[in-house]
Amino acid sequence: MSGSFQTRSSILFFALLLAAGGFFATPVKGAGRAVGTSANPEHEVLIFDYHRFNTYRADSMTVTMPVFEFQLQYLEEHGYHFIPLSQYVDYRLGKAAAPPPRSVIITMDDGHESVYARALPLIEKYRIPVTLFIYPSAISNASYAMTWKQLRALKATGLFDIQSHTYWHPNFKVEKRRLTPAQYDKFVKFQFQRSKQTLDRKLGINVTMLAWPYGIYDQELMRKAREAGYQAALALNGRHAGDHDNIMAISRYLVSDRDKGRFFEDILAGTPARR
């Protein structure tokens, strides 16, 4: 009898501990809110989107190396976990457990050469899983882009997952105005299918995710992307990703070189400054 009493008191004790943990898990200023905790039943995760890296701020899409390292170090020191995007998408598809609290996901769009030339050493130093969204028409073609060889080298590190960013990064709003409905339908299918086919063939992978060029999407595009074999798609909505997001428009934050100190803490807290 005393055994069962003890068991019951242990259960009660743990229940109290859990309740207290939930109660006290209020955001600590500067440390960001505890994403994915019981206080946050939506299992929110932070997904960052980078483009180019340089030693100086060449343009608004460039993050300098000291700022990139500040962000990685800050996240590590404040108890955040870097998880692969695929792990989060598997959770959203019902194939994996919910992401652990304070999960952060790193994505990089457009296949800039600076990912290989500048960001790679830091990615390896911090052992961060990264998802690259690539539009294959630029690879081994545009002067700013990586080559297929570089992409294969990144894949071989085991830290990079490579996914689709359409075939040539069109502005779907512009194309919809410019083309007849039949032409537009064909154009969209081409952008989705040709990208996946090229990446699959060139890299020996199976692409299942898409990032919307310029963050532009609508119901029709989401439906067509699903039909082309994409299971998830990433947007740029500037908020934490969570169960509230349509799986074909998962939220990300576009990272800029300004995102250090207070600006970065505001993103972590889910209250980014207007940009």
Question: Does residue 49 interact with Zn ion by CB under 5 A?
Answer: no
Q: How far is the CB of 133 from Zn ion (least distance, A)?
A: 7
Q: How far is the CB of 60 from Zn ion (least distance, A)?
A: 13
Q: What is the helix (H) or strand (E) element at residue 47, kind and residue range?
A: strand 46-50
Indicate the pairing of strand 62-64 with strand 52-54. parallel
Q: How far is the CB of 166 from Zn ion (least distance, A)?
A: 9
The residue count for binding Zn ion (CB under 5 A) is 2
Burial call 45-78: b when 16+ CB within 10 Å, e when fewer: bbbbbbbbbbeeeeeebbbbbebbebbbebbeee
For Zn ion, give the closer residue by CB, 109 or 245. Answer: 109
SS3 265: helix
Q: How far is the CB of 146 from Zn ion (least distance, A)?
A: 14
Distance CA 122, CA 117 (A): 11
Q: How far is the CB of 162 from Zn ion (least distance, A)?
A: 14
Q: How far is the CB of 211 from Zn ion (least distance, A)?
A: 7
For Zn ion, give the closer residue by CB, 110 or 257. Answer: 110
- The answer to whether 31 touches 268, Cβ cutoff 8 Å, is yes
Q: Which residues contact 91 (CB under 8 A, 6 or more apart)?
A: 43, 97, 98, 99
For Zn ion, give the closer residue by CB, 75 or 188. Answer: 188
For Zn ion, give the closer residue by CB, 108 or 268. Answer: 108
At residue 96, what is the residue type? A
At residue 92, what is the residue type? R
For Zn ion, give the closer residue by CB, 26 or 143. Answer: 143
Q: 209: which 2 tokens?
A: 């995710």
**Position closest to Zn ion via CB:** 109
Positions 109 through 148 that interact with Zn ion (CB under 5 A): 109-110
Cα distances (angstroms) measured from residue 174 to each of 133, 182, 214, 241: 21, 15, 12, 27
For Zn ion, give the closer residue by CB, 40 or 137. Answer: 137
Binding mask 74-113 for Zn ion (x = CB under 5 A): -----------------------------------xx---
Q: How far is the CB of 186 from Zn ion (least distance, A)?
A: 22
For Zn ion, give the closer residue by CB, 109 or 257. Answer: 109
Position of tokens 């798609």? 233
Query: Residues in the site for Zn ion, rule: CB under 5 A?
Result: 109-110
